[in-house]
Amino acid sequence: MLHDARGPFSSLVDVTTGLVDRSIYADQSIYELELERIFARAWNFMCHESQIPKAGDFFLSFIGEESVIATRDKKGELQVLLNSCRHRGNAVCRAESGNARSFLCTYHGWTYGLDGSLIGVPGYKDFYHEQLDKSQWGLVKAGKVASYKGFVFATMDPEAPDLEEYLGEVGRMGIDLIAERGDMEIVEGIQKNLIGCNWKLAVDNLFDWYHPQISHASAFMAGAVREPQNLTQQDMMQLQKAQIGGLSPMHQRVILGGYGHAIGGPRIEEEALDIRSKFYDRVDPIFDDRYREDPKVQDVLGGVGVTTAGHPNIFPNLWVALGAHQLSLRLPRGPHQTEIWWFTFTPKDATPDRKAAIVGMANSIFGAAGLLEQDDGENWDQSTRAMRGVVAQRYPLNFAMGTGATPVAVAGGVSYIDTTINEHAQLWTYRAWAEWMDADSWAALKQTHSTAPAADARP
Ligand code: FES
Ligand SMILES: [Fe+2]
């Protein structure tokens, strides 16, 4: 389908029928507008504070395709700076992480302080004749930078709402589900790899509990996840309801929030909360979820959060992957390529066995060597190739599974649907995508974005 790249994008995502136009995965001009209207506007995840604890520590991250330096200045303030010299645009930082006193451009030597200010210009007296106003030529700074429970985000748009307001109940719950597991520290080394797919396919897959039995059949046969040992029939049923490391197609929950945040996947049946402890020594140690028994954690997560075991996505592209305590960024690299980043965390007080189990799973499930990610990447790659076809683009994709079947419930200010496997969260994400793409400013988006659905609605 040919259309004007300036939308309306709502016509490409039919929220009533669940049909999504294939051009949104293939069209170069749509992709370029995503960089402008989604990535340059949204709060993007940068890094964890434990990666940059001291003044001068820095970590290179991305906002869309643009390199940014997340750093801590001399006052201890978090700074996010565009990694592009104001003179000819050269990168001023080339290491992926480290500690620096300043950022020296390797082209002509302009030097920037940790807060981005231009502090050194070779030939300032002799060649510029002191005619350059250095105060106007610092590195471009993010519009806003903030940390939520140690997780650092930045937006390039100063008109964006503050981070906590942006995250709302659902975004905060998504991060709480990892942050409340204990004092988290990063595992050295961020895994990065390229997959030949549109970034949105990698995002919508994180909610997808329909594919594992098929896509990952061989990985499960190969023992990618250790099956619980010596279980009776009754144990099996309890384990399914308790959602420890299993895939239960019948016990699912989706939680829908503002600006496109969503959580989708298994839920823990309330009566099964109490029986979880008896299984922890019989399943893979990474499934140890004991933190949910702590009353302080229960206070933070609320009743819905405590019984949620699905996957949060912080719109647009941050997956909080709870299995191995990971965060994954799906970074856009053109309409047909995505750079996947994996950050792995361990609770500081975890036993060495548990830490080893977390790192082992982080290496063998996702990331460049991950059994599951290779399965997934192959599917997304083939989908992305096919989306380019002129004939293929005459036929939309189907995201209608289970939508409209079960009404929304609301508890503790959170809108959720308890149901079987479904595609609510995926469709919610595409609905938000269209709203972001149709709004030409934050002011417009604040007006037009979908908020969490009301009780009894059928989104
Ligand atoms: S490009 Fe950086 S100093 Fe010239
Ligand atoms: Fe998968």
Write out pLDDT tens, residues 81-108. Answer: 999 999 999 999 999 999 999 999 999 9
User: Tell me: the pLDDT tens digits for 269-318?
Assistant: 888 888 887 777 777 777 778 899 999 999 999 999 999 999 999 999 99
Q: Is 427 close to ligand 1, i.e. is its CB under 6 Å away? A: no
Question: 123-132, 144-153, 220-229, 257-266: which range is least confident on average?
Answer: 220-229
Verify whether ligand 1 is closer than 6 Å to residue 139 (CB atom). no
Residue 2: its pLDDT value, please?
41
Ligand 1 pocket mutation, candidates 81, 84, 86, 87, criterion most atoms within 8 A of CB: 87
Q: Calculate Rg over the CA atoms of the chain.
A: 23
Put simply, whether the predicted model's pTM sits higher than 0.85 gets the answer yes
- 246 pLDDT band, cuts 50/70/90, is low
Mean pLDDT of 216-236: 81
Q: Is the CB of 107 under 6 A from ligand 1?
A: yes
pLDDT of 240 above 90:
no
The finding on whether 127 has its CB within 6 A of some atom of ligand 1 is: no
Nearest atom within ligand 1 for CA of residue 88 = 1
CA 91 – CA 419 distance, rounded (Å): 49
Calculate the average pLDDT of the chain.
Answer: 93
Predicted confidence (pLDDT) per residue in 360-375, tens digit: 989 999 988 899 999 9
**HEC secondary structure over 304-353:** HHHCECCEEEECCCEEEECCCCEEEEEEECCCCCEEEEEEEEEECCCCHH
Longest dimension (CA), the chain: 84
Ligand 1, atom 4, lies closest to the CA of 108
Domain ranges of the chain: 44-148, 168-448
For residue 255, give the amino acid letter.
Answer: I
Question: Lowest mean pLDDT: which of 1-10, 68-77, 140-149, 162-171?
Answer: 1-10
Least confident of 8-22, 72-86, 352-366, 413-427: 352-366
Average pLDDT (210-239) is 84
Q: Which ligand is nearest to the CA of 217?
A: 2
In this predicted model, what pLDDT tens digit does every residue of 317-345 receive, in sequence order?
A: 999 998 889 999 999 999 999 999 999 99
Name the CATH superfamily housing domain 44-148.
Answer: Rieske [2Fe-2S] iron-sulphur domain (2.102.10.10)
Give the residue ranges of DSSP H helices in 134-198.
Answer: 163-179
CA–CA distance, 152 with 139 (Å, rounded to integer): 19
Mean pLDDT of 119-124: 98
CA distance from start to end of the chain: 26
Question: Is it the case that residue 1 has pLDDT exceeding 60?
Answer: no
Give the per-residue pLDDT at 222. 86
At residue 241, the pLDDT reads 82
* Ligand 1 contacts CB of residue 121 (under 6 A): no
Share of the chain above pLDDT 90, in %: 79
Q: Alpha helices, DSSP H only, in 108-249?
A: 163-179, 199-205, 212-215, 217-221, 233-242
**Torsion sign, CA atoms 91, 94, 97, 100:** negative
pLDDT confidence of 3, banded at 50, 70, 90? very low
> With bands split at pLDDT 50, 70 and 90, how would you rate the model's confidence at 7?
low
Mean pLDDT, rounded, for 251-274: 93
Is the pLDDT at 66 greater than 90, yes or no? Answer: yes
CB 286 within 8 A of CB 358: yes
- Whole-Å CA distances, 31 to 39, 90, 111, 246: 11, 24, 34, 36
CA-122 nearest atom, ligand 1: 3
Check if 88 has its Cβ closer than 6 Å to any atom of ligand 1: yes
Per-residue confidence at 244, pLDDT binned at 50, 70, 90?
confident
CA–CA dist 291, 378 (Å, integer):
35
**CATH architecture entry for 168-448:** Alpha-Beta Complex (3.90)
- Enumerate residues 6+ apart whose C-beta is below 8 A from 130: 124
Q: Tell me, in angstroms, the distance from the centre of ligand 1 to residue 133's CA.
A: 16
Give residue 440 CA to ligand 2 midpoint distance, Å: 34
pLDDT value for 235? 83
Q: Are 80 and 142 in contact (CB under 8 A)?
A: yes
pLDDT at residue 36 above 70? yes
Percent of the chain with pLDDT over 70: 97
Using the atom order of ligand 1, give the atom closest to the CA of residue 110: 3
What is the token pair recorded at 303?
């009743």
The pLDDT tens digits for 373-431 are 999 999 999 999 999 999 999 999 999 999 988 999 999 999 999 999 999 999 999 99
